[in-house]
Structure 1
């Protein structure tokens, strides 16, 4: 088939699909992706299977619908599909849930193909935008169509109730582990632990930066007076983990030793999550990773506008 590039084997497809799991955490490592998948399987074997199928579907969609060859080999077209497939499986409830999840995976990959080139010309990272759009549209459809049903246990992510009394002593380690798990919309110590291990396998900085992001958001949220139970669930941490890795590591062209901008960006995800929740919750929509996108793009734009801002502050310390 002229104009198309081909996988050498099914083994390559699986490897690239596993990379999709690592790309959710902004990594490019098949072994780390396998560990993440294992964590999801230990939480729910069927959910793990659907996540893998979603990644494979997204990867194939990128391949046959004009996606970049290098991006396909790095699992780029799989990570939004994984998140979209998992979201549909968790948020919707009907006999054809698995089929809707695969359609969502295809839709997320198509959005990546269509938007990637447009945004790349403007040096704007796509991040998890396709996942958010596909998930929100799926939920809106479920509210309007009788054939689709919202899972009765569905609750919006990152509930920003700032008036709850702070009772008890929060557990930072619990918030760290569950926080990284919540990136995949999963409340599981097994999944969170293996995802954290996967981060360190990909590189010590990934693990350390994820820990720093959790600590910063944990401290910010606690100082603002959030409920301890919500803090321990990691609902205020997962956006900060992604933001810290993105701003402090992946998009830091200067490779500063001290990721000051990343720390600020991670802290900002907490109030952003609060604001987004106030806007989205009345419409029955979860915050998902929208605080990660907003904070990351805001600080990347700031870095372009004031390129010496971070280095000047570090020099003064």
Structure 2
């Protein structure tokens, strides 16, 4: 397993993280085995959110690992807050503080290593968020902070008021969903690929030393389905991935993650599989460094163009 520094935090994190959104689909025993397999493969980073299974994913995780101080010290745990499903996004100090307290209780831990604001709240009052972050840091409940699905100006606005630097921005990113790459390759071109929809977030995060965490690394669309093995929608892409996977002696899922990891921005990939065998296959990506030619061949096979 390869490790990277998470932003400016000093945390040494596995480049592959286990996303725990679907953990409640397993029994407590099987969830424990999955987490055990992750740690055996070198994964030390576990991604949660207060809304995953209405909070039950965090409780399930704590039960599965039999959470104790000795177990906790081996893990880097991240959770997210601010989505109130069907109601609003909520960056109020009161909501952030109460959400963290609830997550800590469910996870049976005294602190989170990282807390992310889950979606942008257009009613955000950055001073209030900064107060919440300061309180959580002072109380020892959260060590570092980040965001999810935010553009550079949203992060700039928040950073103006916060004492600590944001360490991560969790964004959807995969071979088929890589608008941040498309725009960078099509600068000054009058085409759809050249439309900058995210404010240049890839370059911004590199400049600010903010680690991008890639979510849904195997999905096309938002949650429309996976592109791997989808010969109807992505025949050429799968042919290329399968050929390169065979060359490296790994599976297609390992190549999909290796494509993300190859970018010099040093992205961290969040994988949400609940299958232990597939998790092991994915982790094999750490032994693969695609050549520049292979990376671009995969990119083009996804239906992309170079100007």
Under TM normalisation by the shorter chain, which class is it?
under 0.3
TM-score (norm 2): 0.28
Which structure is higher in helix share?
Answer: 1
Which structure is higher in strand share?
Answer: 2
